[in-house]
Amino acid sequence: MAIDDERLMAYADGALAPEDAAEVERMIAADAGLAAKVAAFSDSRALVKQALGVAPPVPDRLAATIRAMAEADARRQAPGGTAQVIDLASRRRTVPFWQLPIAASVALAVGILGGWIGKPESGGAGGLSVALIEEGALVDALASVTSGERREIGSGVGFTGIASFRDGSGQLCREFEHDRAQGDTVVAVACHAEAGWSVRFAVATAAADDAAYVPASSLDTLDAWLTANEAGAPLSDDEEAAALAALK
């Protein structure tokens, strides 16, 4: 009977049930090639652990930043603590390098917070028309474009799914960017409640010349919002697919 590499590896790692392991042992005893392979699995693991097992020291500045976060967290956790207050100072961090080339600042905090999408009374002008997106198309995109995917949802208008997560109240939220061929990129978060999707956060950013990504200051604003709303970790692709399917 053939034995696959995964099973030999699991044997080498001691991850097989005793009866499985005994069977593998019998096969190894009869085949020097298999025994050599088990040794290769064991040796490679030991070698990798030896080579990378000692983690390099954490830079002092990073460690200090995170200790400050822990202190701020302790104040929030404390009885009578300021649970709803974001300690902005402790959150402020150095601008990640990948955002450095863009000096643009937040051009406009768009006044569409809380505007319901797709509800007639919200009106075309008051809702997402600020962002020049046709609402039906946006609702469709929120329900179907997966994170990491970009789709044209109007003439020259793009929708890029960034991430899906649940906020502190358990609502499904989607972070996305939309962009136009000329003009601003808007980074936004929409959450789904019983009444439908509503845009909970949006910042427009001055358009970059050649790269459709968003300047640092906007992302700091977004980070602050995410923290204030107790945003959970991004859903995996599978979780996102299941969450979106559940809305249908």
* Residue 86 or 113 with smaller CB distance to another protein: 86
- Minimal distance in Å, beta carbon 126 to another protein? 29
- Minimal distance in Å, beta carbon 129 to another protein? 26
Residue 231, interface with another protein (CB under 8 A)? yes
Site string for another protein, 85-124 (x = CB under 8 A): ------x-x--xxx--------------------------
Residue 10, interface with another protein (CB under 8 A)? yes
Residue 182, interface with another protein (CB under 8 A)? no
Residue 232 CA neighbour count, 13 Å, CB half: 15
Which of these segments, 111-119, 121-129, 190-198, 229-237, binds another protein (CB under 8 A)? Answer: 229-237
Query: How far is 66 from 3, CA to CA, in rounded Å?
Result: 47
Query: How far is 20 from 33, CA to CA, in rounded Å?
Result: 19
Q: Phi-psi category of 19—alpha, beta or left, where left has phi over 0 and alpha has psi -120 to 50?
A: alpha
**E runs forming strands in the chain:** 106-108, 150-154, 157-166, 172-180, 185-193, 196-205
Among 53, 79, 80, 120, binds another protein (CB under 8 A): 53
Residue 190, interface with another protein (CB under 8 A)? no
Query: How far is 66 from 234, CA to CA, in rounded Å?
Result: 21
Which of these segments, 16-24, 68-76, 134-142, 195-203, binds another protein (CB under 8 A)? Answer: 68-76
In our burial notation (b when 16+ CB lie closer than 10 A, e otherwise), range 208-238 reads eeeeebbbbbbbbbbeebbeebebeeebeee
Can you list the alpha helix ranges (DSSP code H) found in 53-144?
60-77, 88-91, 135-144
* Residue 33 or 120 with smaller CB distance to another protein: 33
Q: Check if the beta carbon of residue 231 is closer than 8 Å to that of residue 173.
A: yes
Residue 36, interface with another protein (CB under 8 A)? yes
Binding stretches for another protein (CB under 8 A):
5-6, 8-10, 13, 15, 36-37, 39-41, 43-45, 47-59, 61-63, 65-67, 69-74, 77-78, 91, 93, 96-98, 147-148, 160, 162-163, 211-214, 223, 226-227, 230-234, 236-239
